[in-house]
Amino acid sequence: MNYFKTALLLAGMTALFLAVGYLLGGSSGMLIALVFALGMNFFAYWNSDKAVLRMYGARQVDKRTAPEFYNIVERLAENAGLPMPKVFIIENDQPNAFATGRNPENASVAATTGLLRRLTWEEVAGVMAHELAHVKSRDTLIMTISATLAGAISMLANFALFFGGNRQNNNNPLGFIGVILTVILAPLAAMLVQMAVSRTGEYRADEVGAQICGQPLWLASALEKIDRSAKQIDNQIAERNPATAHLFIINPLHANKVDSLFSTHPRTANRVARLRQMAGQTEAARPRGPWG
């Protein structure tokens, strides 16, 4: 199902690129946009995960460099019946985490140093189980591609300020109005795509993640801690690249006035309430899962 969603996303983004190109440069602009879109689609499918990890300065770790964290991910992956993903740590004081990769065989999970410092190992297990749930459901493909393409469309729209603002430009059929529409509507359309693929996926990943680690309350506690800290601690890279916000387990944005436009996550209180209800319906008294 997610491959079908990904195909629709790529087609929709390509159409949006063509529309923007036409508004900026008529038929020739549309042709240039088509070439650019095809190149971006190819890059996004094969390299978007690597691009996001590089953007956040993630460093890969193993059993020697981060034994506790690596072992948690290893046990959870075994619980979930998944291949062992690559494990990364991001130097950032804001506690948060995300997963990337086009399929479970090429997946990566990343956590910030703030997450590893501020949460207990049980809560870290809940968070990483949530991220592995995204891998298991193959959400990471569409989430990572949408982040890459949404950022590219925002960049393309910004070009309008420099190359399409001339009222005398005969190649632009709508003139300066077309430029304004491009600058406003292109990032908005990309944002709506992100919201469409993210909100319901978070609820599903919470549920599957709780099953993977065997303790819904571990994830519930982690979400509450991350939510409080994320509102107080800036993630500067995320603020500069808001199109990647939906990748994280909790929205990392809060420092800028426009951040509310990129609110791609359900309310944390609603997620916690669902997990607590789930804990009441399962044997949550004794730790199990990877520590069973």
pLDDT digits (tens, 9 = 90+) for 10-69: 777 777 777 777 776 777 777 877 787 777 767 766 777 898 999 999 999 999 999 999
Q: Residues 270-284: pLDDT tens digits?
A: 999 999 999 987 654
Place of tokens 């990032």: 187
Q: What is the pLDDT of residue 167?
A: 47
Q: Is the pLDDT of residue 257 over 60?
A: no
Per-residue confidence (pLDDT) for residue 145, from 0 to 100:
73
**What pLDDT score does 250 carry?**
95
The letter for the amino acid at 2 is N
| Per-residue pLDDT, 256 | 60
The residues facing 99 across adjacent strands are 109
Instruction: State residue 47's pLDDT score.
Output: 77
Amino acid found at 128: M
Is the pLDDT at 224 greater than 70? The verdict is yes
- β-pairing verdict for 97-100 and 86-90: unpaired
With pLDDT > 70 as the criterion, what percentage of the chain qualifies?
A: 69
pLDDT at 275: 96
What local confidence, expressed as pLDDT, does residue 259 receive? 45
Q: Which residues contact 288 (CB under 8 A, 6 or more apart)?
A: 214, 215
Q: What is the pLDDT of residue 179?
A: 62
CA distance 265 to 175: 37
Whether 78 is catalytic is no
Prediction pTM value: 0.79
- Which of 83-87, 165-169, 183-187, 249-253 is modeled with the greatest confidence? 83-87
Q: Return the SS3 of 165.
A: coil
Distances (CA, A) of 216 to 145, 158, 279, 284: 29, 43, 5, 7
Read off the pLDDT band of 198 (50, 70, 90). Answer: low
How far CA 96 is from CA of 80, 93, 116, 120, in Å, comes to: 21, 9, 9, 14
What is the mean pLDDT of the segment spanning 198-227? 92
For residue 255, pLDDT over 60 is answered with yes
Band of residue 174 on the pLDDT scale cut at 50, 70, 90? low
Query: What's the domain range around 107?
Result: 2-291
Window from 1-10, 26-35, 112-121, 242-251 with minimum mean pLDDT: 1-10
Exposure of 55 by Cβ count < 10 A (0-12 exposed, 13-18 middle, 19+ buried)? middle
Query: What's the rounded Cα separation, in Å, for the pair 110 and 96?
Result: 9
Residue 225, pLDDT score: 97
Catalytic residue, candidates 122, 131, 202, 207? 131
For residues 223 and 290, what is the distance between their CA atoms, to the nearest angstrom? 20
pLDDT band with cut points at 50, 70 and 90 for residue 84:
very high
The reported pLDDT for the residue numbered 200 is 76
Q: How many domains does the chain have?
A: 1
Mean pLDDT of the chain: 81
- How many whole angstroms separate alpha carbon 239 and alpha carbon 244? 9
Which has more pLDDT, 75 or 148? 75
Mean pLDDT of 123-138: 96
Helix crossing, 67-80 with 121-136: angle to 10°?
40
